[in-house]
Amino acid sequence: MDVMIAVLIVIVSFAASIAGNMLANELYDQAPSFARWLIDRAVMQLPDDQRDRYREEWVAHLNELPGSLAKLCHALDFNLRAARRVAIEQKRLHSNLNASDERAQEVTMEIIKFGIKLRVAHMVIPLAIRCQFPKIRLLWKMIDKMLDSAFKYRKKYNATPEQMSRWWKQAERLLKENVRTHEPANATKHFR
Amino acid sequence: MPEQDVRLTQPTLKVLRFLLEKPREGRSGAEMSKATKVGSGTLYPMLARLEAAGWLSSEWEAIDPREAGRPRRRYYKLTALGQNNARAALAELQVAAGEPAWMS
């Protein structure tokens, strides 16, 4: 009985070693394609516009490594750590860019606002002087308030600087039209 | 280019020191990883951060991948800003460590 068990153990271990060897060879042969698959999965974690770049770069990196095992280890590293952390860096970069875009838009808005004030002043102040309106400063405050409320709406409707410029051109045309209607004699003098 | 926070960790300093050896030559990620022993999981996020901060610039290897039969490498090199900042950071480190700066 003991002899039978011993023979069985020898046969099983022999078969297991052959099977293990075959499996190891198979895995070794499949390692590069598995590594490639891991990289394909890794780049899916990145923003769309970065995927092709990093796929090519990382595959080139793997090509420079000797041996299938090293390739597999690096591919795992790309998959488990690099991709996620590069994605975080890209996200941080984009949020910074968005913040600077927003700031640039605010500055543009202020410039547009100042331009509008000058144009309004150019139209209204000569008219006020001609009509001998006594409180030009009061007039200026009114203009200020009007513009502030207009720019509050900009935030509400998330209007771009281009839309605000367009809005102002329309408003200016209407204002001129109104003045023309009320004082046709002065229109030519002040607004053309 | 927005100003980014560059964390000068030990692996970052290793990579910067390596790039400073030949600042005009582009180095691939594999070269850097091999020379500095920094793993790819740490290296590439760091390169992305340094590139975003304007310390590094990168470009593709000038080959046709079909003709060469392999994908192109991406070469990184220090910008003028990167060279200045990297030298300053490494010099600061040497002073802090008590090592004379002229021995570098």
Calpha distance B86→B77 (Å, rounded): 12
Tokens of B81: 């800003």
Mean pLDDT across chain A, nearest whole number? 76
Nearest to B41 among A82, A92, A99 (CB): A82
Q: Which of A4-18, A86-100, B36-50 has the lowest mean pLDDT?
A: A86-100
pLDDT tens digits, residue range A87-141?
Answer: 887 777 777 766 666 666 677 777 777 777 777 777 676 666 666 666 667 777 7
The pLDDT-based confidence of A61 (bands split at 50, 70, 90) is: very high
pLDDT of residue A153: 65
Taking only residues 70 to 99 of chain B, the set having a beta carbon closer than 8 angstroms to any beta carbon of chain A reads 70-74
Task: Say whether residue A104 is in contact with chain B using an 8 A CB cutoff.
Answer: no
* Degrees, nearest 5: CA angle B89-B54-B79: 75
Starting at the edge strand found earlier in the chain, the sheet holding B74-78 runs B27-28, B74-78, B56-60
Calpha distance A185→A78 (Å, rounded): 77
pLDDT of residue B14: 93
For residue B83, pLDDT beyond 90: yes
Residue the block writes with tokens 């041996």? A67
For residue A173, pLDDT beyond 60: yes
Q: Do A63 and B4 touch (CB under 8 A)?
A: no
Mutate to test the interface with B, among A72, A74, A89, A96 (most CBs of B within 10 A): A89
Q: What percentage of chain B reaches a pLDDT higher than 70?
A: 85
pLDDT of residue A59: 92
pLDDT of residue A183: 55
The pLDDT-based confidence of A190 (bands split at 50, 70, 90) is: very low
* Degrees, nearest 5: CA angle A84-A89-A92: 125
- Mean pLDDT over A45-57 rounds to 88
The pLDDT-based confidence of B96 (bands split at 50, 70, 90) is: low
For residue B99, pLDDT beyond 60: no
The pLDDT-based confidence of A32 (bands split at 50, 70, 90) is: confident
Quote the minimal CA–CA distance from A107 to chain B in Å. Answer: 17
Taking only residues 62 to 101 of chain A, the set having a beta carbon closer than 8 angstroms to any beta carbon of chain B reads 63-65, 74, 77-78, 80-82, 85-86, 88-90, 92-93, 96-97, 99-100
Helix (H) or strand (E) holding A125: helix A83-130
Instruction: Identify the DSSP state of B26.
Output: -
Contacts of A89 in chain B (CB under 8 A): 45, 48-49, 52
Q: Are B28 and B73 in contact (CB under 8 A)?
A: yes
